[in-house]
């Protein structure tokens, strides 16, 4: 299991770097190159301008710059997330099944909750009995099966692998390590890129 966990960390780091690369490419390609100076300049014009035509022109330029910047961010985030979603859709379920194969019993959260499922069915389940559509959607994003029920609390059922991360039992150690390494790979790549000395332009 250690090799599986280390592989998840490595893959998460690489995907984080891919995300950062795609995001930076989209910003450089589609966002205004002087976005922040332009925002400061247009804001100063709006604050001091009294004539309506010039004021409307400044607002129009500001809206256009913000729209281009937001669209560039959207394109970058979409492109950066595609590899992550592809890997999760292909390898997520098999990796989790292997990780949870060492479980010796089902875990029910909150503990002591009565469920309508027999113990034999719970042993291999990743299931949430959820109280709302929003809760069901959120748990489905975490790769749980969901069923609506009329209780007051969501009931989470999964193989008990006795993991120790802060988000257990919502995320296993495998998932937690993968997502944390994704974020660290992303942020680390951006920091290194920012600190790297730029080549002088002729």
pLDDT, position 117: 64
Question: Could you give the C-alpha distances from 80 to 25, 35, 52, 183, in angstroms and in order?
Answer: 10, 22, 42, 12
The SS3 of residue 129 is strand
- 150-160 pLDDT, tens digit per residue, is 888 999 999 99
pLDDT confidence of 179, banded at 50, 70, 90? very high
37, 42, 47, 53 alpha-carbon torsion, rounded to 10°: 170
pLDDT above 90 covers what percent of the chain? 60
Supply the pLDDT for residue 57.
Answer: 87
The string of pLDDT tens digits covering residues 67-122 is: 999 999 999 999 999 999 999 999 999 999 999 998 888 888 888 777 766 655 55
> What is the residue-wise DSSP string for 1-14?
-HHHHHHHHHHHHH
**CA-closest candidate to residue 154, choices 165, 173, 164, 169:** 169
Can you give the residue ranges of every domain in the chain? 1-103+174-202, 105-159
Size of the chain in residues: 202
Q: How far, rounded to the nearest angstrom, does the alpha carbon of residue 200 sit from its chain's CA centroid?
A: 36
At residue 30 the predicted structure's pLDDT band, cuts being 50, 70 and 90, is very high
| CB 127 within 8 Å of CB 159 | no
Calculate mean pLDDT across residues 35-64.
85
Predicted local distance difference test score (pLDDT) of residue 59: 87
Q: Check whether 46 has a pLDDT greater than 90.
A: no
% of the chain exceeding 70 in pLDDT: 93
Residue 56 scores a pLDDT above 70? yes
56 or 171: which leads in pLDDT: 171
Residue 95, judged by CB atoms within 10 A of its CB (0-12, 13-18, 19+), counts as: buried
Mean pLDDT, residues 118-146: 83
Q: Mean pLDDT throughout 137-157?
A: 90
Q: What is the pLDDT of residue 123?
A: 54
Mean of per-residue pLDDT scores for the chain? 88
């Amino acid at each position: 299991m250690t090799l599986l966990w280390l592989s998840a960390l490595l893959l998460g780091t690489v995907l984080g770097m891919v995300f950062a690369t795609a995001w930076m490419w989209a910003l450089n390609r589609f966002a205004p190159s002087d976005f922040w100076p332009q925002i400061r300049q247009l804001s100063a014009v709006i604050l001091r301008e009294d004539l309506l035509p010039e004021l409307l022109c400044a607002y129009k330029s500001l809206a256009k710059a913000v729209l281009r910047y937001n669209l560039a961010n959207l394109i970058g985030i979409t492109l950066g997330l595609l590899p992550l979603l592809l890997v999760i859709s292909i390898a997520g379920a098999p990796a989790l099944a292997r990780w949870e194969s060492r479980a010796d019993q089902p875990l029910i959260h909150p503990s002591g909750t009565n469920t309508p499922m027999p113990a034999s069915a719970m042993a291999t389940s990743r299931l949430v009995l959820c109280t709302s559509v929003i809760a069901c959607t959120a748990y489905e994003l975490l790769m749980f099966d969901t069923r609506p029920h009329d209780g007051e609390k969501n009931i989470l059922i999964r193989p008990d692998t006795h993991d120790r991360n802060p988000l257990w039992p919502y995320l296993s150690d495998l998932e937690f390590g993968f997502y944390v390494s994704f974020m660290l790979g992303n942020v680390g790549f951006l920091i290194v890129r920012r600190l790297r000395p730029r080549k002088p332009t002729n």
